Homo-oligomer: A and B are copies of this chain.
Amino acid sequence: MNNSLNIPKKQKLTKKGQETRSRIIVAAAELMYEQGVARTTIEDVQNKAKISASQMYHYFKEKKELVLEVISYQTSRVIGTHTRYLSNLDSFEALYAWRDFIVNIQIKRNCEGGCPLGSLASELVEINSDAQQEIMSSFFEWEDSIKKGLRYMLNHGELNSDADPDKLALALLAALQGGLLLTQVRRDPTPIIVALDTMIEHIISFKKV
């Protein structure tokens, strides 16, 4: 999590101001990913971003505003990387390349942390209605990018007409989220591997022959 490329520019800020603002969001995202939103104080973020309290206040009046920016930052990071694999799913090999990409991230981080969006969802949905709306949009966007990939496979004759790419996309996203949670709990990549492989085998059962 060492780039700020995914952070939309804020109007009326200088280049330096944009950079500071991005640094705050990235620092907050890292802390909230590691220890949760409730346990992350504004002071923690200030220290990590190496800024003063008054600078912090200049950019974010309330923690709530910062939380919404963190959701938007994590959304563009997660969906950005997944879209690279999903934008032109033209074969089952491509589906397995996506699966390998997800599994390898978990192995590299020793199965710690879970999904950046899933964790925010679980913590915030019941207690912050603005966050719930943002996270809901994020998941719809993610689901759409999977739908597009599976529709592409249907339209390019990889899947037969019995396949419902919209339902399969939602089931695949659910398998991904549940698999990531169980992998995080068990510190073992097996759940995410089994969850994705089972869903991909199910999708393969619609292979056009």
Contact = CB atoms under 8 A, between A and B. Distances in A.
A114 interface: yes
Nearest to A188: B136
19 contacts: A39-B127, A112-B126, A114-B122, A122-B123, A122-B181, A122-B184, A123-B123, A135-B185, A136-B185, A139-B185, A170-B182, A170-B191, A170-B195, A171-B199, A173-B178, A174-B174, A174-B192, A175-B178, A175-B195
Interface in A185-209: 185-187, 190-192, 194-195, 198-199, 201-202, 205
A174 B202 contact: no
B178 A181 contact: yes
Contacts of A191: 170, 174
Interface stretch (A30-38, A50-58, A59-67, A90-98): A30-38
Nearest to A169: B194
Contact of A171 (B39, B113, B125, B195): B195
Interface residues of A, number: 47
A146 to B, nearest CB: 12
A20 to B, nearest CB: 28
Contacts of A112: 126
A102 B24 CA distance: 41
A18 interface: no
A167 B179 CA distance: 12
A113 B121 CA distance: 11
B121 A184 contact: yes
A178 B174 contact: yes
Contact of A174 (B34, B113, B194): B194
A136 to B, nearest CB: 5
Contacts of A194: 167, 170-171, 174
Nearest to A180: B178
A136 B167 contact: no
Interface in A138-170: 139, 167-168, 170
A176 interface: yes
